[in-house]
Structure 1
Amino acid sequence: MIKIYNFPRGARGLRAMWQCEEMGLPYEVEAVSYPPSEAYRALNPLGSVPFLEDEGGVAINESVAMMLYLAQKYGPTPLLPGRDDPALARVLQMTVFGEATIGAGLNPLMAAHFGAPEADKHNWSVRWQEARVEDAARFVADMLGDSPFIAGADLTLADICLSTAFGMWRGALGKTLPDRLAAYHERVAARPAYQRARARCNGQGGPSPSRITRDG
């Protein structure tokens, strides 16, 4: 069975849980302590979260890799269009964009917000990175247009990846989104599959150390 290791309320682990819920895949959730135990580091030497195990000796980190693995292993699924579907290119682009451009940039912002000395919380690097995420949010809002989802009529991996990144931006950092994007984020987060995954993710325990610790 699929097992997802995650810090309590870790947003990137939520991605994989949400996808499992959308696809109807059974999965287990294993809470990771902070700092990670030696037993966990024996499984994942980086000590990062999330981490996924599956039958056949599968053991991977990086949330986007997990999403692509699950879609291809247990698909076909509308979450990942087929190779002849023109929407595939946008789904792949925006799934990677949600982590490589937005999500990865949130790590230093959260480290500064929660861990930096007061004088460094709004230094040049923080202001530059905030502006970069704001530009990325405007780009996504323009790409979304009047569509219900980022690649058209159906929810895809791109929406799962982007929405969780924007959740960190709004929730952990208290930032705002353009009105169109805020409405999109709230609409996607109202999905029953998201709510079920969030309940399992939040039910692991207390405050998430992933706010200031690298996760994938």
Structure 2
Amino acid sequence: MIKVYNFARGARGLRIFWQCEEMGLPYEVKVVPFPFPDDYRARNPAGGVPFLEDDGGVAINESVAIMLYLAQRYGPTPLLPAGDDPAALARVLQMTVLTEATLGGSMNTLMAAHFVAPEGDKRNWSVLGLEERMAHALGYVSDTLGDQPYLAGEAFSLADIAVSTALGIWRGALNGAIPDRLVAYRERLAERPAYQRAQARAAGG
């Protein structure tokens, strides 16, 4: 049985729930408090959430790595295009990884500055630079989407799950602005039944 450890309402764990719902995979949600208790640190020495355990002794961190693992182990799935469509595969992999390598990496520092930094450091040069980086990256995502229904074209994919949840972190934690095209895109994805089921699981339903 797939077990996903996550904070209550944690958006990165929501990615995993959403993917499992889209793929029809049974999974168990384990809510983890913060600070992490000793038994969780023993189970997951790297720390952080989400963290997934699976049959066969699998234990894996990092939300994007978990997404790729699930698609590979329990696929094939339309969420990860096959190798016979290399352009779609490349786009899905690129945009999925971008959500943490570019968007998530920037947001983590911005959230630390916003919530933890001393007042004099909340608007320092690194914060201003990361805000510019976020604006550029979100513009790039919007341009990539263009007039397509999904980031890789006509088919919903891992990239859409990963990007939509990153947009949720940006807006929810930092009240960040996103292009109008991405607002409409995110609202449309939120209508998917699998997303709504995942949200209910994340909220303890």
- TM tier, shorter chain? over 0.9
User: Which residue is 2:102 aligned to?
Assistant: 101
Deviation at 1:190, TM superposition (A): 2.0
User: Which residue is 2:147 aligned to?
Assistant: 146
Deviation at 1:103, TM superposition (A): 1.1
Provide runs of 4+ in structure 1 moved above 4 Å.
none
Which structure exhibits the higher relative contact order, with contacts defined as CA atoms closer than 8 Å and separated by 6 or more residues? 1
Instruction: Tell me the matched-pair count.
Output: 204
Task: Find the aligned partners of 2:60 and 2:196 in 1 and give their Cα distance.
Answer: 25
Residue 141 of structure 1 contacts residue 180 of structure 1 at CA under 8 Å; is this kept in 2?
yes
Deviation at 1:118, TM superposition (A): 2.2
Farther-moved stretch of structure 1 (147-156 vs 190-199): 190-199
Cα-to-partner distance string for 1:5-59 (whole Å, 9 max, x where unaligned): 0011111111111100000100000011111011001111122111000000000
Cα-to-partner distance string for 1:139-162 (whole Å, 9 max, x where unaligned): 011111100100011110011111
User: Which residue is 1:169 aligned to?
Assistant: 170
Secondary structure in structure 1 of the residue aligned to 2:29:
strand
User: Which residue is 1:45 aligned to?
Assistant: 45
AA in 1 matched with 2:171:
R
Secondary structure in structure 2 of the residue aligned to 1:77:
coil
Percent sequence identity over aligned pairs: 68
Q: Which runs of 5+ in 1 are unaligned?
A: 205-216
Deviation at 1:122, TM superposition (A): 1.7
AA in 2 matched with 1:28:
E
Determine if the alignment matches structure 1 residue 28 to structure 2 residue 28.
Answer: yes
AA in 2 matched with 1:109:
L
How do residues 56-135 of structure 1 correspond to structure 2 at under 5 angstroms? Answer: 56-85=56-85, 86-135=87-136
Secondary structure in structure 1 of the residue aligned to 2:81:
coil
Deviation at 1:125, TM superposition (A): 1.0
Secondary structure in structure 2 of the residue aligned to 1:109:
helix
Deviation at 1:117, TM superposition (A): 2.0
TM, length-normalised to structure 1? 0.92
RMSD, aligned α-carbons = 1.1
Task: Find the aligned partners of 2:64 and 2:92 in 1 and give their Cα distance.
Answer: 12
Task: Find the aligned partners of 2:119 and 2:192 in 1 and give their Cα distance.
Answer: 38
Secondary structure in structure 2 of the residue aligned to 1:34:
coil
Task: Find the aligned partners of 2:193 and 2:172 in 1 and give their Cα distance.
Answer: 20
Q: Which runs of 5+ in 2 are unaligned?
A: none
Determine if the alignment matches structure 1 residue 3 to structure 2 residue 3.
Answer: yes
Task: Find the aligned partners of 2:31 and 2:140 in 1 and give their Cα distance.
Answer: 35
User: Which residue is 1:158 aligned to?
Assistant: 159
Task: Find the aligned partners of 1:11 and 1:104 in 2 and give their Cα distance.
Answer: 15
User: Which residue is 1:203 aligned to?
Assistant: 204
Deviation at 1:201, TM superposition (A): 1.0
Task: Find the aligned partners of 2:197 and 2:66 in 1 and give their Cα distance.
Answer: 19
Secondary structure in structure 1 of the residue aligned to 2:28:
strand
